[in-house]
Amino acid sequence: MNRKKIAVLMASIDREYQQDFSKGLAAAGAQNNADICIFNSQGHMNVAISTDENGERMIYDLPDLREFDGVISLLATMGSVETYNKVYDLLKPLKGKPHISIDIPFEEAVTISFEDHVSVRELTAHLVTKHGAKRFAFVSGPLNHSVALERIKACRETLAEYGLRLSDRLIFDGEWTRIGGRNAAEKLLSLGGELPDVVMCGNDDMALSVIETFHEHGIRVPEDIAVTGFDALREAIMRGLTTICRPIDRSARCAVDLLCKWIDGEKPENDTVLLPTVPIYGDTCGCERSPEKMHEKLRAMASDRWQMETILTRVSMFSGTMAGVRDEGEAREKIADFAESWNIREMFVCVDPAVCRDAGEAEEVAEPESDGYPDEMLMLYGTRNGRSYPAGIFSRGDLAPVLMEMRKNPVCLVFCPLYYRDHSLGYVAMELGEGTGSALYSVLMLLNGAMMSLYLQQNIRKYVRTIASLAVQDIMTGMLNRRGFMEQAPPVLREAREKGMVFVMISVDMDHMKKINDEYGHLIGDEAIVRMGRGMQALKRINLTPVHISGDEFLAYGMADSVDAAMASEDLLRQELERINREDPWICELSASIGIYAAVPGEGNDIDEYLTKADREMYADKNRKKQWSREHPDEMAGGN
């Protein structure tokens, strides 16, 4: 395939401005035979309530931008300084790669910008000359943001031409959000004194919330204060807001067209491309709204309302089932039902394999990544135009299996993060459409609920295994404890009986344990037990299972081909203790009394019988040692 691959870095794609831009990207990508991969975070949300900012910006760790033919960045959409800086740092090493930056000038990139200042100047002059406004306030985007500062500057310069000024005291940071606009309006009203004639806002979202706040305080718009916005959102036009329209769709098409020519070797002549903007006058400054614009937006608003009602119904339907999935299979089934109900024709849910790995597949289940994505991802669910993809592991660098396929048509996919607190659970890649429009946050919330449920279920299974292991495992030596022995040894004895093999029971009692505790203390005694446990591990070489019963008492059990083979285990254990004493000298040497009983089990034989007979042999060994010590006191004088 001679198909270009373009990465787009943006935030808040569910907002109208970004939606219009993305639709332009998709159309231009299809026209230029280019795959478009949009990496999106929900940057505008109130992260303290609904999202985790660190979790959101993990999505920008996903793409290796060096693997793309070109990049389009929308830094102005980033929801915080931290996210802005992260994306900025990712873009810095791309010098020489075709890069189109929207609004924000970037070294060696071509910037597509808008003649915002022209329309802001025209609108400011209109407010002064037609409506007699003299006292201005400005609700801006972040006051360290170049786009926001340019709009304030244009207003100031125009006012100066009329002998007026914009006071710093009347400039407020509205953060580009409705909440920020409301807070700015409250701050303005708290100043007291004479109200301004007009409040100019850096976007429509802030302007609409400013108007709502004024109405709540009994302040009429425009009779008491005129209010203007920016962006020409559908709701803004329908409510008669005076605003400024940017050619968003055109800017996206222009970005893709320029980038594709640049990829083919035709670098743009100019570092900056300026697109015109147009003021739209409406009720909120005292003018009449445009009927043509209203009819156009009315159709879109009706569609939006129907979609919102549908979204609420679907969220209610799936919130419980998606948040309650228990395993991979159920998750795939529920996500398939969800995608079909939501009319999502193309979606790939890609997760960290640790989130979904079955508890029985491995002794230890890795934790999901907390600082990015693993090298291998699990495609938990995939669908495209009615085709279902089988679940499977793929390389993270591929992003989504569909991108590696031979296809007739290019794709435009939106990549969004899935996470739980500070753990990355994976990501979802979706087509532009219902799922990535105003419903996006709801879609992500439901998918995240399913992934969180899988993650928590996985941890529950892990903790159950851990608790079960602790119940049968000796903490000091790591071997089976008495309970573990009583649970696991009888089945081995039955297997030996069925196969006609020798069942082996070894009883081991450490020598001189009381003397070690009396002379060196119980901490040294515990260390002696640990060292003895290391020696007992040698019996695993001949398929015997070591057990720490308690204190200085050990045993081992298992199957052997013959009684002679079973009896050889005593020599193996003594040799291992000698090796430890020799190669790892300690405060005292270790030794043990050992007894073995080995025989093919009959129907009436049980574990207690084997243990009793092995103990009898162990005590016989212990008595032989005591007898020898009494007969050779001189040789024992320097011993333990």
Q: What domains can you pick out in the chain, each with its CATH number? A: 4-112+321-461 (no CATH), 114-248+268-295 (3.40.50.2300), 482-636 (3.30.70.270)
Decide: 122 and 242 in contact? Cβ < 8 Å: no
Q: Whole-angstrom Cα distance, residue 427 to residue 425?
A: 7
The whole-angstrom separation of Cα 128 and Cα 158 is: 10
CB atoms within 10 A of CB 361: 8
Whole-structure pTM over 0.85, yes or no? no
Question: Could you read off the pLDDT of 197-239 as tens digits, one per residue?
Answer: 999 999 999 999 999 999 999 999 999 999 999 999 888 888 8
Residue 361, pLDDT score = 42
Q: Within 13 A of 280's CA, how many CA atoms are on the CB side?
A: 25
CA–CA separation, 557 vs 603, rounded Å? Answer: 18
Biggest distance spanned by C-alpha atoms of the chain:
123
| Distance of alpha carbon 616 from alpha carbon 625, whole angstroms | 14
- Cβ proximity of 600 and 496 under 8 Å: yes
Residue 6, token pair as written in the block = 């373009």
From the number of C-beta atoms within 10 Å of its C-beta (0-12, 13-18, 19+), residue 156 rates as middle
Place of tokens 């373009």: 6
- Residue 47's pLDDT is 40
Supply the pLDDT for residue 79: 76
What is the C-alpha to C-alpha distance for residues 74 and 64, in angstroms, rounded to an integer? 17
Predicted local distance difference test score (pLDDT) of residue 299: 45
Q: What pLDDT score does 39 carry?
A: 97
Query: What confidence score (pLDDT) does residue 45 get?
Result: 44
Instruction: Read off φ and ψ for residue 259, nearest 5 degrees.
Output: -65, -45
Residues of the chain with pLDDT under 70: 1, 43-52, 290-324, 357-371, 434-435, 438, 465-466, 469-470, 634-640
pLDDT of 181 reads 96
Q: Indicate if the alpha-carbon torsion angle 221, 227, 231, 232 is positive or negative.
A: positive
CB–CB of 241/123 below 8 Å? no
Buried-state track 230-269, b at ≥16 Cβ within 10 A, e below 16:
bbbbbebbbbbbbbbbbbbbbbbbbbbebbbebbeeeebe
